[in-house]
């Protein structure tokens, strides 16, 4: 981007408002516009954050030549169509999860990125959460030893959430589980097999023709001896909100706490049995960020908890990931490199969930990931011991 600031527009100002002051304080970014269909809310937020350019029409925003990139924070059904429109309009795209709701939509986005040379990043919070960054550090420094197995879950009570949420199949929105198990070793999913378990109440079946209370998936990694287990529930399953990620290595393993707010448990091999587990309070990783946005790893954008978006408060602040996501996207554009996850990686992560639900409907059938989501064989390398 020739050392100029990246000019960004935010689309959707519910959860999306959480990112406004981070962009405003990032040294290589300029937030130039916001977009929201509700004009009253648009103007309230525009005044609160002193943003002059305000759009109620997304298509009109995409015609603005002053905008380099859009950050999409709209409802799930809109993600793919808005990403595709933005890429066709010549804009870089950051999009909240999931990338899309069909394999074909994922394919279109990957193809557009390949054709245009533009950047796409799915803004998966868990792969920039402090807990993940801690486990990633243990992996890259060799403290885990050989990784043997990974596990993740995302359980949440979605009763009362609006629009498209009632009856949503659990794996349709599985990126918080899939993202970390693949990102730790920078792997691709090769095949998935999923079973449904239990039954949600009948009035919820009509929306997606899906009865499952829980969906449980095994992922076979490409070019690797690893597999991972993920599970997900949204309705009629008693559980405190939990986005968990666990890794089992030959030297150390890390397990997520059963109750939110408790420390991680690190198991160290070859110690006396009572000394194997130890609670570890995960460090923060604000030091990886520019000083101007470091405060946002521990605070939302608003002054009081009452004003924070439900996904932020119920999701334990998303592990301090928001400024890391912005920094990765902006830095990738500024440095002219691929972000993580890029379009292909985002498609691989997203298609795991989509195909897992198809597998559950077919009694656990093993389904391969489409070729467009996989690295070329020449790019693959064995995992470190």
Please say if the pLDDT value at position 310 is more than 50.
Answer: no
Q: What is the pLDDT of residue 187?
A: 97
Residue 340, classed as helix, strand or coil, is coil
72: burial class by Cβ within 10 Å (0-12, 13-18, 19+)? buried
- Strand 147-155 with 242-249, pairing: antiparallel
pLDDT digit string, tens, across residues 312-345: 443 347 899 999 999 999 999 999 999 999 999 9
Identify whether the C-beta of residue 10 lies closer than 8 Å to the C-beta of residue 71. yes
Please say if the pLDDT value at position 1 is more than 50.
Answer: no
Contacts of residue 189, Cβ cutoff 8 Å, sequence gap at least 6: 178, 182, 219, 220, 221, 222, 348, 349, 351, 352, 369, 373
Q: What is the pLDDT of residue 377?
A: 44
Identify whether the C-beta of residue 233 lies closer than 8 Å to the C-beta of residue 251. no
CA-CA distance, 183 to 169, in Å (whole number)? Answer: 24
Mean model confidence pLDDT for the chain:
93
Query: Roughly what angle, to the nearest 10 degrees, separates helices 343-361 and 103-116?
Result: 170
Q: What is the pLDDT of residue 317?
A: 75
Q: What is the pLDDT of residue 2?
A: 55
Please say if the pLDDT value at position 378 is more than 50.
Answer: no
Domains and CATH numbers, the chain: 126-287+347-379 (3.30.360.10)
Q: What is the pLDDT of residue 307?
A: 46
Taking the model in full, what pTM does it have? 0.93
Q: What is the pLDDT of residue 162?
A: 81
- Strand 69-72 with 6-11, pairing: parallel
Q: What is the pLDDT of residue 163?
A: 85
CA-CA distance, 329 to 208, in Å (whole number)? Answer: 33
Please say if the pLDDT value at position 291 is more than 50.
Answer: yes
For the chain, how long is the longest CA-to-CA vector? 65
Q: What is the pLDDT of residue 3?
A: 65
Identify whether the C-beta of residue 68 lies closer than 8 Å to the C-beta of residue 8. yes
Please compute the mean of the pLDDT values over residues 10-37 and round it to a whole number: 96
E strand or H helix that includes residue 137: helix 130-140
Q: What is the pLDDT of residue 376?
A: 76
pLDDT digit string, tens, across residues 191-201: 999 999 999 99
Cβ atoms < 10 Å from Cβ of 296? 24
Q: Please report which confidence band the pLDDT of residue 300 belongs to, taking 50, 70 and 90 as the band edges.
A: low
Query: Among 296, 293, 265, 298, which residue's Cα sits nearest to residue 279?
Result: 265
């Amino acid at each position: 981007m020739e050392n100029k600031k990246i000019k960004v527009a935010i689309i959707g100002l519910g959860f999306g408002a959480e990112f406004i002051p981070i962009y405003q304080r990032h040294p290589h970014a300029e937030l130039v516009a916001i977009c929201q269909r509700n004009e009253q809310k648009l103007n309230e937020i525009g005044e609160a954050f002193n943003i002059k350019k305000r759009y109620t029409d997304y298509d009109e925003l995409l015609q603005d030549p002053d905008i380099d990139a859009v950050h999409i924070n709209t409802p799930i059904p809109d993600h793919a169509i808005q990403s595709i429109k933005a890429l066709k309009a010549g804009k870089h795209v950051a999009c909240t999860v999931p990338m899309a709701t069909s394999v074909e939509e994922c394919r279109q986005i990957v193809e557009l990125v390949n054709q245009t040379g533009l950047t796409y990043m799915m803004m998966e919070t868990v792969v920039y959460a402090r807990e993940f960054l801690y486990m990633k550090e243990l992996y890259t420094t060799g403290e885990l030893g050989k990784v043997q197995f990974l596990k993740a879950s995302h359980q949440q009570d979605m009763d009362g959430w609006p629009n498209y949420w009632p009856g949503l199949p659990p794996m349709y929105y599985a990126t918080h589980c899939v993202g970390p198990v693949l990102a730790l070793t920078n792997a691709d999913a090769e095949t998935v097999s999923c079973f449904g378990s239990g039954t949600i109440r009948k009035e919820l079946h009509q929306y997606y023709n899906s009865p499952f209370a829980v969906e449980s998936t095994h992922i076979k990694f490409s070019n690797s001896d690893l597999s991972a287990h993920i599970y997900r529930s949204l309705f009629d399953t008693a559980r405190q909100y939990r986005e968990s990620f666990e890794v089992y290595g030959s030297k150390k393993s890390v397990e997520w706490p059963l109750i939110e707010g408790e420390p991680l448990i690190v198991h160290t091999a070859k110690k006396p049995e009572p000394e194997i587990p130890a609670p570890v309070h995960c460090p923060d990783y604000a030091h990886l960020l520019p000083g101007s946005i470091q405060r946002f790893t521990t605070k939302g954008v608003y002054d009081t908890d009452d004003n924070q978006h439900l996904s932020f408060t119920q999701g334990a602040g998303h592990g301090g990931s928001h400024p890391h996501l912005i920094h990765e996207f902006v830095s990738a554009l500024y440095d002219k490199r691929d972000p993580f996850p890029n379009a292909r990686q985002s498609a691989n992560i997203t298609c795991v969930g989509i195909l897992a639900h198809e597998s559950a409907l077919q009694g656990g059938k093993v389904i391969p990931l489409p070729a467009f989501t996989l690295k070329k064989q020449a790019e693959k390398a064995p995992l470190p011991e």
